[in-house]
Chain A
Amino acid sequence: MSNLLNLNNIDAGYGEFDVLKNINMYLDKHEIVALIGPNGAGKSTILKSIFNISDIKSGKIFFEENDITNKQTYELLNLGISYVPQGRINFATLTVKDNLLIGAELIKDKKKVKDNLNYIYSLFSVLKTKRKHLAYSLSGGEQQMLALGRALMDNPKVLLLDEPSLGLSPKLVKETFETITKLAKTGLSILIVEQNAKQALRMADRTYLLENGQIALEGNKKLLNHPKIKTIYLGGQI
């Protein structure tokens, strides 16, 4: 129970529709954990059940040994959990700076907000140069950085990332993954859902493979050589 985030026997879904069956997993401090698996396996639903967007039928979720099952969104954010949904959602007609500041709405200390803003600018320098531009004018990669930056504005301990590489060019995918690795080194724990199994396995400290709402495999980087992963997800060879 000394892990940062624990999912114990989670059954979850949407209304009457069950997706996850008996999920047990954990996330440690400074760790990157990847969730891979085919479409509809329930990868995103795991993130959504942590962030209380999907309906948890049974089981409990613990964060720093506190029960966070069914907590309100603002309570989760205050505890230090941030969620970046799929598809680079930004506030299109707000400036880049305003987009970032909205991520820090829960912080009352103005100096802290300013420090965080400067930290994000140092992390993603393009956001600084384009801080007065409207969000919709950014490129796909920049919008992903903005969404990431906004999630980082309220000093999270855990970042839940839903397919940050979606729709990005190979070069940008590489850059995004490098940023995520960099973030983990600053002490952040990251739970990432990824379609790009090979990249995810290389980056993550540990990986869970999901199939039909259940964890089929679990392991560290050595999972790359697992015959099942090789044949089904990586096209037979690496």
Chain B
Amino acid sequence: MGTIQKNNIIETLKDSQKAFWLILFVIDIIFIFLCLQGILNEYFAHVLVVINIYLILSISLNLVMGFTGLLNLSHIALFGVGAYTSALMIMNGYSYLLSLLLAMLLPGVFAVLLMFATRKLKSDYLMLVTFGFSFLLYSIFISWTSLTRGPLGLNNIPKISFFDFTIYSTNQFLVFSTIMAIVSIIIIYNITKSSFGRLLQAVRDDEISLKLLGKNIELIKFKAMFISGLFAGLAGSLFAHYSQYIEPNSFWIVDLIFLLTVLIVGGLASNRGAVFGVIIIMILNESLRLLPIPSEILGPTRQIIYALILILILLYRPKGIFGRIDLK
């Protein structure tokens, strides 16, 4: 009897997974339609663009952190590498498509190099070194003033243009970023459902057993980090050309904490979790603006709320909303 009940629950969950993506897609289309029609103002379009960028970031971080089980805190730095690469390339006269390509490849390569250096490390130790990597890149962004203009940041980053088409308005960018986010989600979703995705999860569960099955663990980790880096770079490039201004503080601990909160709330090793987490936390974030609190208190209040949410989730639902594994 117990088995039958359990199977039923699993079947329902499976169906609800399809329903989840469908509902999300429909809501997304409705919002975009309302924005394009001018019924919702530019502020909404802006929030949706930011959500799209964070979706790409969270779902790609989930691939290494949730599915492969690597506590990787370098994602925000890879995001920064993508943003700076894309901005600097375009400002030096290269085409957008070429800039985007390099902005994706470079973080991918950085991720693999980082993984190569940390291939013997696990859990907390890996976390510390990858966190250190984020600090390292942050100080490069700040100190290499001849390239990045340091704390002044890069401004007047050109808008995206390719094939005689330029994305001017926020609404146009909304459509472009939505397509990018959906494509990213579809690609990463399919990776996690493939046999390679199964191997990633096996790495997380038990590396030694997988070695006994003749698998090259390091190669699997390199591949996962590379893919994750590619998408971090894509998000970085979108961010740079959308905000048209980047500075080192855009890629700092605050955003890393945001990303981690998203994944822990949504649930590790679940694509739905990574997507749902971003939406929930962003809605919360933006609705705080409606409260009558001065802006200098708003920032710290957010941090306090993140902390509160994290504590509540870890106390009452340690696997997150959709997650399948505990944060080890």
Q: Indicate whether A and B interact.
A: yes
**B-contacting residues of A (Cβ < 8 Å)?**
51, 53, 72-78, 83, 85, 89-94, 98, 101-103, 105-106, 129-130, 132-133, 150
B3 touches A77 (CB 8 A): no
State whether the Cβ of B208 lies closer than 8 Å to any Cβ in chain A. Answer: yes
B202 closest partner in A (C-beta)? A91
Instruction: Classify chain B: how many residues form its interface, as a range.
Output: 20 to 34
Name the one of A72, A75, A102 contacting B202, with C-beta atoms under 8 angstroms.
A102
Name the one of B7, B198, B201, B214 contacting A132, with C-beta atoms under 8 angstroms.
B7
A105 touches B213 (CB 8 A): yes
B215 touches A105 (CB 8 A): yes
State whether the Cβ of B10 lies closer than 8 Å to any Cβ in chain A. Answer: yes
B209 touches A89 (CB 8 A): yes
B3 touches A129 (CB 8 A): yes
Contacts A130-B3, A132-B7 given; does A91 touch B206 at CB 8 Å: yes
Q: Give complex CA distance A78, B215 in Å.
A: 12
Contacts of A130 in B (CB 8 A): 3
State whether the Cβ of B46 lies closer than 8 Å to any Cβ in chain A. Answer: no
A93 touches B204 (CB 8 A): yes
State whether the Cβ of B263 lies closer than 8 Å to any Cβ in chain A. Answer: no
Q: Give complex CA distance A85, B206 in Å.
A: 13
**B109-135 vs A: 1/0 string, CB under 8 Å?**
000000000000000000000000000
Give residues 1-55 of B contacting A (CB, 8 Å).
3, 6-7, 10
Name the one of B3, B202, B213 contacting A94, with C-beta atoms under 8 angstroms.
B202
State whether the Cβ of B325 lies closer than 8 Å to any Cβ in chain A. Answer: yes
- Shortest CB distance B317–A (Å): 17
- Per DSSP, chain B at the interface is helix
Contacts of B208 in A (CB 8 A): 85, 89
Contacts of B199 in A (CB 8 A): 102, 105
- Shortest CB distance A215–B (Å): 25
A102 touches B210 (CB 8 A): yes
Q: A93-B325, A105-B214, A133-B6 are in contact. List 6 more A-B contacts (CB 8 A).
A: A51-B212, A74-B214, A93-B269, A94-B198, A102-B202, A132-B7
Most buried by A among B7, B211, B214, B325: B214
Contacts A74-B214, A76-B214 given; does A90 touch B209 at CB 8 Å: yes
User: Which 10 A-B pairs rank lowest in CB-CB distance, beginning with the nearest?
Assistant: A74-B214, A91-B205, A73-B214, A89-B209, A77-B214, A91-B202, A92-B205, A98-B198, A132-B10, A102-B202
State whether the Cβ of B295 lies closer than 8 Å to any Cβ in chain A. Answer: no
- Shortest CB distance B11–A (Å): 9
Name the one of A76, A94, A133 contacting B201, with C-beta atoms under 8 angstroms.
A94
B196 closest partner in A (C-beta)? A105
A91 touches B209 (CB 8 A): yes
**A-contacting residues of B (Cβ < 8 Å)?**
3, 6-7, 10, 195, 198-199, 201-202, 204-206, 208-215, 269, 324-325
Name 7 A/B residue pairs within 8 A (Cβ), A-sorted: A73-B213, A77-B213, A89-B206, A90-B205, A92-B206, A93-B204, A94-B201
B198 touches A102 (CB 8 A): yes
B325 touches A105 (CB 8 A): no
Q: Give complex CA distance A93, B327 in Å.
A: 13
Contacts of A98 in B (CB 8 A): 198, 201
A73 touches B211 (CB 8 A): yes
- Shortest CB distance B226–A (Å): 20
- Shortest CB distance B39–A (Å): 44
Most buried by B among A53, A91, A94: A91
Contacts of B198 in A (CB 8 A): 94, 98, 101-102
Contacts of A74 in B (CB 8 A): 214-215
Contacts of B214 in A (CB 8 A): 72-78, 105-106
A73 touches B212 (CB 8 A): yes
- Shortest CB distance B3–A (Å): 6
Contacts of A133 in B (CB 8 A): 6
B201 touches A93 (CB 8 A): yes
Q: Give complex CA distance A129, B211 in Å.
A: 28
Contacts of B201 in A (CB 8 A): 91, 93-94, 98
Q: Give complex CA distance A102, B209 in Å.
A: 10
A93 touches B213 (CB 8 A): no
- Shortest CB distance B218–A (Å): 14
Contacts of A77 in B (CB 8 A): 213-214
Contacts of B206 in A (CB 8 A): 89-92
Most buried by B among A83, A102, A150: A102
B3 touches A85 (CB 8 A): no
B10 touches A94 (CB 8 A): no
- Shortest CB distance A142–B (Å): 12
A83 touches B269 (CB 8 A): no
Q: Give complex CA distance A181, B158 in Å.
A: 72
Name the one of A85, A89, A101 contacting B195, with C-beta atoms under 8 angstroms.
A101
Contacts of A75 in B (CB 8 A): 214
Contacts of A103 in B (CB 8 A): 213
Contacts of B325 in A (CB 8 A): 93
Q: Give complex CA distance A133, B205 in Å.
A: 15
- Shortest CB distance A34–B (Å): 21
Q: Give complex CA distance A73, B209 in Å.
A: 12
- Shortest CB distance A121–B (Å): 15
